[in-house]
Structure 1
Amino acid sequence: MPAASTPPRSVSARSSGGRGGPARPPDAPPARPARTGTGTAPKPRRRRRGRVVAAVIALLLVLVLAWPVGLLIWANGKMNHVDAVSGELSTPGTTYLLAGTDSRADGVLQGDDTEGSRTDTIMLLTVPRSGRTSLISLPRDTYVDIPGHGPNKLNASFVFGGPPLLVETVEALTGIGVDHYVEIGMGGVAGLVDAVGGVELCLDYVVDDKDSGLVWDEPGCQLADGATALAFARMRKADPLGDIGRTQRQQQVIQAVTGAVADPSIVTKPGEQVRLAEAGLGALTFGNGTNILDLGRLALAFRDATGSGGVRGTPPIANLDYRPGGVGSTVLLDEALAPAFFESVVDGTITPEDADPNG
């Protein structure tokens, strides 16, 4: 009986070109691996190009972030410090004492017999825990009791004992603890005004004052250079409001300089940032413990105080020409109203009407 013929072997799906597809010939070239997904696999060249772009972006980000950090570190090292704040008196919020000083060394006191330095500008910039930020000018001739020296004008405390005694005297007068001391050399301010290309200042009357050197030909606003801005800040005798008018003009100068330095276009000009930082820091001396971040907070506080929600002005005054004897003409604060006024500065309840000398 003849043997049964063996049926042909079926081709399995494993050896075929696909499930149910034709068998792959033994001599066929190796198959390319199948592409997964629906898109096209990226080419190596494109991957390399993407990595390069990513690296460049990362480098730019590092430079953009590192430049401000480096500038802050550099600027912090350029700050000049002096012992000024004792920390013995503490009140809520943060208060900066701003003192504008003239010095014979600056060439500012030409024709003046005053030795050394004196302070013609004394301001308290207070940021309360809540409420209004305020910038209160204390007239330099305010009649005060200077610790260890007796009654005299407020600015005499700076002559007698420098920044520490000025801080102590202001704290005793106002009951407000000073957290940061910032001394502004008026000669340096003139240089900073020139560094920003001048600032716009406004005055509503004509002035030709030989003592300060200010010449204002017509009422209105003018672009002032450093020398003019300095004379504008120092002029007193030709001002109808005397010392009060001068404090208002000093605030105007500082506000104008602050606005010029805060120009957004400077952000894209690293060289300009360094130049202005050098000019600004060269005009400033800081109390112990104050750093560059505190200076930034001060700038923000100044902006708030001079904005629509802030308060600028002076404490209540009883007499602009008080003559107690021995110290000449002084400014006498209103003893009945001043304590409550300074309390409102600390708790942020002060209003623009409270600080209006003509109100």
Structure 2
Amino acid sequence: MADDGSRARPIPQGRPGTSGSGGAEDDDVFIVDTRGRGRTTPPRPARREAEPAGRTPAPRHTPGERRRPQQRIPAPTEPTMRRLDDQGRPATTMPPPRPPQASRPLTAEQPTPPRPPRRRRPLRWAVLALVVVLAYLLGVPLHAYSEVTRVNAAPAGDRPAPGKGSNYLLLGSDSREGLTAEQLDEMATEQVEGNRTDTVMVLHHSDSGPSSLVSIPRDSYVPIPGHGTQKINAAFAIGGPQLMAATVEQATGLRLDGYLEIGFGGFAGVVDALGGVNICVAQPMDDPMAGINLQPGCQVLSGPTALGYVRARHSDPRGDIGRAERQRQFLSAVVKAIATPSTVLNPVTYWKVTHAGAAGVRLGEDTSLSETVTMLSTMRSVSSGDGNSLVVPLKTTALQTKNAGVAVQWDKERALALFEALQRDDPLTAPPAGTDGVPSG
């Protein structure tokens, strides 16, 4: 069909350097009105042809601009080519999955897995058992301590100045209080009026060296405050614990910090609760007044027999001195037996021993719990060989007196030196001279 000239037709323009309107771009198109109206429509951009995939469009430049060399782009790899379709658009298919990588071995820098929790139940049971044992070991003696009889043993009048260390008065009385007729018969004794002392000791707890246990013979001839000079055991019969403590303080120059007294019943009860005490008898002892007939050798003594052993003096050629030595020997054996595991770890025995001792013991009203513990621990130390077991220095054991018969006389010079050393708390690494019980006169 022939063109009638009624429609406007686009006039293609040539590229630069060709025929046509010289400076126009090859992409510009002009619409000319062939009807002669003289109007020219503004140019509209022509649609660019799609360039092949992977090809970069050539940069535009002006006629006078120096053309830059084009940078070559490396050919895309196979995965990249798959991401584009034929028209340069992203492909709908996903790239193939990457092959799994081998796991790296664990190194020191990587965190280690937490350890499984330990089972602590056995430890808890062990701690609970330990608490129960400690409660029993402490609770039983505290209960027994609460039942101990208290007496007024504080000396009246002037007293020595306090020294270093601590001093305690230990008495063994012949009190029969609480004993039945059968028990009295077994002990070869009977009820008597008043109380007397068969054992007098001063226990010195040292802060600078070994502690010391000093025996004072019961027949020692000393001044008794307000009652002249008599045998020392008379002080207890006259004025009880107070006068006895005052007499010992005046005779020794030591200030007493505590008081402990044990009677016949308490002594025998502790021995029987222990099941007897092993004692090595040095010589034959046949003493009807003490109710014993013992042969030489080591043997286990029951309560009544042990009481006769420490009381006897008529069967001992050394008399009161030999008795004082046996008393220290037996006290050491009893303390060792109490401290053995077979006693402490046996609930029945432990209960019997502590309460038998509490039943026969009397403490001073001013003797505190801490002082009682110190007293007992010091006795244990001396009995185990870590201290000194002494006798007050003597001059003679056959002093004739006008009012007390035959008595024991101290070596005043040596006795004074001993008690002054204890007052100063000098470390006694060896027994001082004259403290072996052998008279110097």
**Coarse TM-score class (shorter-chain normalised):** 0.7 to 0.9
Deviations 1:55-85 (A, max 9, x none): 4344334323333343343233122221113
Counterpart in the other structure of 1:150? 228
Q: In the alignment, residue 321 of structure 1 is paired with which amino acid? A: A
Unaligned runs of 5+ residues in structure 1 are 23-35
Q: In the alignment, residue 345 of structure 1 is paired with which amino acid? A: L
Of residues 431, 435, 439, the one that matches 1:352 is 431
The alpha-carbon deviation at position 8 of structure 1 amounts to 7.1
Q: Taking structure 1 as reference, are residues 62 and 211 closer, same or farther at Cα in structure 2, changes over 3 Å only? A: closer
Report if the CA contact (8 A) 1:122-1:137 is conserved. Answer: yes
**What aligned pairs does 1:324-343 form with structure 2 within 5 A after superposition?**
324-343=401-420
SS of equivalent to 1:336: helix
Deviations 1:276-326 (A, max 9, x none): 111121221111233444333223212322344422121111221212202
**What aligned pairs does 1:1-359 form with structure 2 within 5 A after superposition?**
1=49, 4-6=88-90, 37-39=111-113, 42=116, 50=119, 52-53=121-122, 55-86=124-155, 88-89=159-160, 90-105=162-177, 106=179, 107=184, 114-216=192-294, 218-346=295-423, 347-350=425-428, 351-354=430-433, 355-358=435-438
Percent sequence identity over aligned pairs: 37
Report if the CA contact (8 A) 1:141-1:155 is conserved. Answer: yes
Unaligned runs of 5+ residues in structure 2 are 1-48, 51-86, 102-109
SS of equivalent to 1:202: strand
RMSD in angstroms over aligned alpha carbons? 2.9
The alpha-carbon deviation at position 356 of structure 1 amounts to 0.8
Deviations 1:75-99 (A, max 9, x none): 3312222111359432210111110
Deviations 1:131-162 (A, max 9, x none): 23111110111111111111111011111111
Distance 2:170 2:275 in 1: 24
Report if the CA contact (8 A) 2:337-2:343 is conserved. Answer: no
SS of equivalent to 2:261: strand
Q: Taking structure 1 as reference, are residues 312 and 57 closer, same or farther at Cα in structure 2, changes over 3 Å only? A: closer
Report if the CA contact (8 A) 1:132-1:348 is conserved. Answer: no
Distance 1:252 1:54 in 2: 44
Q: TM-score, normalised by structure 2?
A: 0.68
- Indicate the structure whose relative CO is greater, using CA pairs within 8 Å and at least 6 residues apart: 1
Distance 1:150 1:113 in 2: 28
Q: Taking structure 1 as reference, are residues 340 and 199 closer, same or farther at Cα in structure 2, changes over 3 Å only? A: same
Q: Which has the larger radius of gyration?
A: 2
SS of equivalent to 1:290: coil
Is the deviation greater in 222-231 or in 270-279? 270-279
SS of equivalent to 1:50: coil
Distance 2:265 2:316 in 1: 22
Q: Taking structure 1 as reference, are residues 252 and 50 closer, same or farther at Cα in structure 2, changes over 3 Å only? A: same
Report if the CA contact (8 A) 2:335-2:383 is conserved. Answer: no
The alpha-carbon deviation at position 104 of structure 1 amounts to 3.8
SS of equivalent to 2:174: strand
Is the deviation greater in 246-255 or in 202-211? 202-211
The alpha-carbon deviation at position 21 of structure 1 amounts to 6.8
Q: TM-score, normalised by structure 1?
A: 0.83
Q: Taking structure 1 as reference, are residues 65 and 317 closer, same or farther at Cα in structure 2, changes over 3 Å only? A: closer
Q: In the alignment, residue 151 of structure 1 is paired with which amino acid? A: T
Q: In the alignment, residue 116 of structure 1 is paired with which amino acid? A: G
Equivalent residue pairs, number: 334
